[in-house]
Structure 1
Amino acid sequence: MNRRTSLVGVIALTTGLTLTGCSSSDSEPELKVSGAFMPQPVSDMAAGFLVVKNSGGTSDRLTSVTSPLSDDVTIHETKDQTMRMVTSFDVPAGGELDLRRGGKHIMFMKLKQRPKQGEKVSVELHFEKADPIKVDLPVKETTYNPKKQ
């Protein structure tokens, strides 16, 4: 009886692991970026804004951003009128990460040059699970602020 119970347990465990493996491959993050822009910088610092939409069945995390514009690119969050650097942002399954003025955003420090309105700034977004995504941020007027739909 003890041997039979062990066999049933092994079969149940193996079946559970197999089903788990199948379901996770069907629910990977599916990320798409839209609404990207950078207000024209007025100093050696700049900010970047965009939306990462996740139509997949698994959440992900934006962990870093790189760009040839600066060797010091970080992600920040503004709460209660205080800006602070963070290590990552959640990109929920079936949801989105909205980087916008007054909230979560990308910070570029010690710019190698100041991009002008009409130019584009290349960035690469790095995620915990998904492959990196390359995005061009169009440089807009300094006061540009798109309306949320």
Structure 2
Amino acid sequence: MRPGARRAPLAGGALLLALALAGCSDSGSDSDPGSGGGSGPKLSVGGAYMPQPLAADMAAGFLTVTNKGGTDDTLTGVSSALAEKVTLHETVDRSMREVREFPVPAGGRLRLASGGSHLMFEGVRRKPEQGEKVPVELTFEKSGTLTVRLPVKSATYQPRER
């Protein structure tokens, strides 16, 4: 038997197995079993930014998640190579507290804005400069992970209301 003669059938079998498994995976379709066949979440992110941090080891991030789908979703986590940890915070009665998740209602939006709910970057590894774009991964209960880039704006930046 010539060298490698047995490898071709094994490689072909591995390819068929991979294709079969791919056919069984969730393709991210719009239907959601719990929604009675309606459309699932359809998320988009806009208005994202990070004010240039004043502190060397902390920063904040703001954005709006819009859900044009027929099913609620939930923001359950955030990560970024910029920081050791990124947490979700809400501000209630001028007091900030960490929360585990934020709902994103069907046909609605989650707004993270200065003075309210926001992303808190803790243990910032290096201070980002104005004009830079910081990659951030947002993890949702149903929609999986979305990667967004937060442009670093001046520390006094105020977005226009829409």
TM-score range, shorter chain: 0.7 to 0.9
Give 3-state SS (helix, strand or coil) of 2:83's partner.
coil
TM-score (norm 1): 0.83
Say whether residues 1:111 and 2:124 are aligned partners: yes
TM-superposed deviation, 1:147: 2.0
Structure 1 runs (4+) greater than 6 angstroms displaced: none
**Corresponding position of 1:61:** 74
Give 3-state SS (helix, strand or coil) of 1:94's partner.
coil
Q: How does 1:127-142 map to 2 (within 5 A)?
A: 127-142=140-155
Distance 2:50 2:101 in 1: 20
Q: How does 1:74-113 map to 2 (within 5 A)?
A: 74-113=87-126
The alpha-carbon distance between structure 1 residues 22 and 96, as it changes in their structure 2 partners (threshold 3 A), is closer
Contact 2:63 2:113 in 1 (8 A): yes
Q: Aligned Cα RMSD in Å?
A: 1.5
Per chain length, whose mean CA-contact separation is higher, i.e. which structure has more relative contact order (CA < 8 Å, sep 6+)?
1
Residue 144 of structure 2 aligns with an amino acid whose one-letter code is: D
User: Could you list the runs of 5+ residues in structure 2 that have no partner in the other structure?
Assistant: 1-31
TM-score (norm 2): 0.77
**Corresponding position of 1:147:** 160
User: Could you list the runs of 5+ residues in structure 1 that have no partner in the other structure?
Assistant: 1-19
Residue of structure 2 aligned with 1:32, choices 36, 41, 44: 44
CA deviation digits over 1:2-59, x for unaligned, max 9?
xxxxxxxxxxxxxxxxxx9596443210000000000000111000000000000000
The alpha-carbon distance between structure 1 residues 108 and 23, as it changes in their structure 2 partners (threshold 3 A), is closer
